[in-house]
Amino acid sequence: MTADIIAVHYLFLYIIISTIGIAGNLFIVYITIMSKRLRSACNVFIGLISIGDALHLMGHCIMIVLYKAISDHQLQEDVCVYWELLPVFGFSFSSMLLLSVALDRVMAIQKY
């Protein structure tokens, strides 16, 4: 068995920060769904960005679980792709939506 590469307190820090981030992003989604005043296109985009960010943060939890579960810290390539597919999708999804919101807000303040 190989030695731990990541110290235990860093593992806990990753889990705590990821859990807070996932809970916060899901809370934003919940508030966006429940509030009638937050139904504009921009607020829906922000809710969708929060979903993507929560998926991305789940990748950090997956990384820690796989780090502790696999003794030599190596995965086969296809297994790694399957485990990280959803977090990478969330990262890409939220990045593109963030760009869309930024362009929407820039166009909203411009006078044509």
- The three-point CA angle 11-56-89 to 5° equals 140
Amino acid identity, position 92: S
- Domain positions in the chain: 8-109
pLDDT tier at 88 (50, 70, 90 boundaries)?
very high
pTM of the complete model: 0.83
pLDDT tier at 42 (50, 70, 90 boundaries)?
confident
Res 10: pLDDT: 87
pLDDT value at 111 more than 90: no
Res 2: pLDDT: 56
Mean pLDDT of the residues in the chain: 89
Q: Which of 13-17, 30-34, 56-60, 103-107 has the lowest mean pLDDT?
A: 103-107
Res 67: pLDDT: 84
pLDDT tier at 51 (50, 70, 90 boundaries)?
very high
Q: In sequence order, what DSSP letters do the residues of 25-81 get, joined into one string?
A: HHHHHHHHHH-STT-SHHHHHHHHHHHHHHHHHHHHHHHHHHHHH-TTS---HHHHH
pLDDT value at 1 more than 80: no
